[in-house]
Amino acid sequence: MENVMKPKLVVLTVIAMTLGFVSLSASAFTPVGPIAQVVPLSGAMRTIPINAKTKYVNVTAHETVKFVVDGNAFAINFSGSSATKFAFVPSVLDLAQLAPTGVINHKVTVYVAPDPLYTSGVG
């Protein structure tokens, strides 16, 4: 009877360890919070004009940017919270989903680069 229990224990241990590693992997690469949020205009560090020809913009994590579209202005803070516990995950966002409703009538892709203060010396 004792010999039968040991293989079962080994199998259960292997299953438990596998589930533990899968759980660790999923949580380690899960973003820790929202990457962008609307903030007051007064916090903006720079301004990016958006027109009908604008297809994309580049911003940096931890930057607050004021966007001006046909006289309408709004500011977004790119918090950089797409950084996981181990590394920054580059983010691509649709500006129309962040902007006030109806301000942007075409697709403008936002590319969020890692903050150099957090990535310098890495690699």
pTM given for the model? 0.65
Cα(60)–Cα(115) distance, rounded to whole angstroms? 6
Q: Across all residues in the chain, what is the average pLDDT?
A: 77
Q: Binning pLDDT at 50, 70 and 90, where does residue 113 land?
A: confident
Q: Are 109 and 94 in contact (CB under 8 A)?
A: yes
Cα(27)–Cα(101) distance, rounded to whole angstroms? 33
Average pLDDT over residues 22-41: 62
Express each pLDDT in 33-45 by its tens digit. 567 888 999 999 9
Express each pLDDT in 97-109 by its tens digit. 989 999 999 999 9
